[in-house]
Amino acid sequence: MKRRASRSVAVRPGREETELVLGRGAVLEILRAGRRRVECVLVAEGVRETEVVARIVAMAAERGIPLERARLDELERGGEKSHGIAAEVSPFPYETVEDILGEAGRRGEAPLVVLLDEMQDPQNFGTLLRTAEAAGVHGVIVPYRRTAGVTPAVVRSSAGASEHLRIAAENLARAVERLREAGVTVVALEAHPAAAPLDALDLTRPLGLVVGSEGGGIRRLVRERCDTSAWLPLQGRVGSLNAAVAGSIALYLAWSRRRGSASRGEGIDALRKA
């Protein structure tokens, strides 16, 4: 395993289009997904060879990806923990709304899409991506401006779940219109005077859930293009939840409803009736 010079840990000369992703889980999922070009995998000197580290090293070797040694302080010079593993990779490959709808068609399922309106906190963004992947969503749509984007920090906070998702960066208001034209009911998740409880809606039909930003919520132009608004009924004294938690609960509710309808053979009927 080659020893890497300290000057080139962040970005290799002549390869400014790459980015450095830290963390064992994130790097493992990048390798498993196989959607990015991996220039090299960096292993910190003295790192303990756990099962995950061994898998990463083996996968890199099998694919002819260079393995290089680096000092731990070099990997973590930006202040984030790497747990001794990093990878230099190409930027995240964004897709389109049509790709997302096509994914639902390939699975033979009613579309389930998440739209994140200007979510800028990488931790919240990553948390929602992780939940979205676990809930089997067909894709995530974010604005092409004023959003965190799928940065290395987001990949890490999602534990690499981002690598298995179709994510589109679009004008969000237009994306809502395109989903509706395709027969998808788009629901703005917010406490609005005209909103219905989310659990009162049919969540098994083609569905898009819009989650707002941490401070500003859902923008007016986006909300006006949605079919309806819905809120999460809360039992306790706290009157609201942060964006990542609210979105995650909504996704779990949709997933559980769909799981129940699929067991009764109803899931594909919603797609056919759309």
pLDDT, tens digit, 9 for 90 and up, residues 217-227: 899 999 999 99
The set of residues, in sequence order, having a beta carbon less than 8 Å from that of 101 and lying 6+ positions away, is 111, 138, 139, 179, 182, 184
- Whole-angstrom Cα distance, residue 166 to residue 102? 10
Percent pLDDT > 70 in the chain is 89
pLDDT, tens digit, 9 for 90 and up, residues 18-60: 999 999 999 999 999 999 999 999 999 888 889 999 999 999 9
Q: Where are the domains of the chain?
A: 2-89, 97-273
CATH topology of domain 2-89: 60s Ribosomal Protein L30; Chain: A; (3.30.1330)
pLDDT, tens digit, 9 for 90 and up, residues 49-104: 899 999 999 999 999 999 999 988 888 887 788 889 999 999 999 999 999 999 99
Please report which confidence band the pLDDT of residue 3 belongs to, taking 50, 70 and 90 as the band edges: low
Of residues 156 and 215, more confidently modeled: 156
CATH number assigned to the domain covering 97-273? 3.40.1280.10
What is the pLDDT averaged over residues 144-171?
A: 93
- Whole-angstrom Cα distance, residue 195 to residue 79? 42
> Residue 188: which of 233, 149, 221 has the closest Cα?
221
**One-letter identity of residue 105:** G
Of residues 31 and 148, more confidently modeled: 31
Q: Quote the mean pLDDT of the chain.
A: 88
- Whole-angstrom Cα distance, residue 107 to residue 86? 33
